[in-house]
Amino acid sequence: MKKLPSEIFNEEKFLELAKTAVHCRVKRVKDVVKLKLRTKNQLYTYKTDPETADRLVRNLTCDILEI
């Protein structure tokens, strides 16, 4: 059985999970940016504004895919 994606509401938690992520997908929709972290077993999503998203993406060490 597949697990459903989990939404993260905390920026620190997002950065902590990003350390073990395989890749991060960045989806820009109008004034919201969705960051999707893929780890080995789970997909995590985080919604934020474009300025915060740009700052977070610069700090990521995993592969970044813009969609």
pLDDT in tens, 15-46: 999 999 999 999 999 899 999 999 998 999 99
- Predicted confidence band at 61 (pLDDT cuts at 50, 70, 90)? confident
The fold for domain 6-66 equals 3.30.720
The pTM of the full predicted model, rounded to 2 decimals, is 0.88
> Across residues 37-56, what is the average pLDDT?
93
Mean pLDDT taken over the chain:
91
For the chain, which residues make up each domain, given as ranges?
6-66
pLDDT at 58 over 80: yes
DSSP state string for 14-54: HHHHHTT-SEEEEEEETTEEEEEEE-SS-EEEEEE-HHHHH
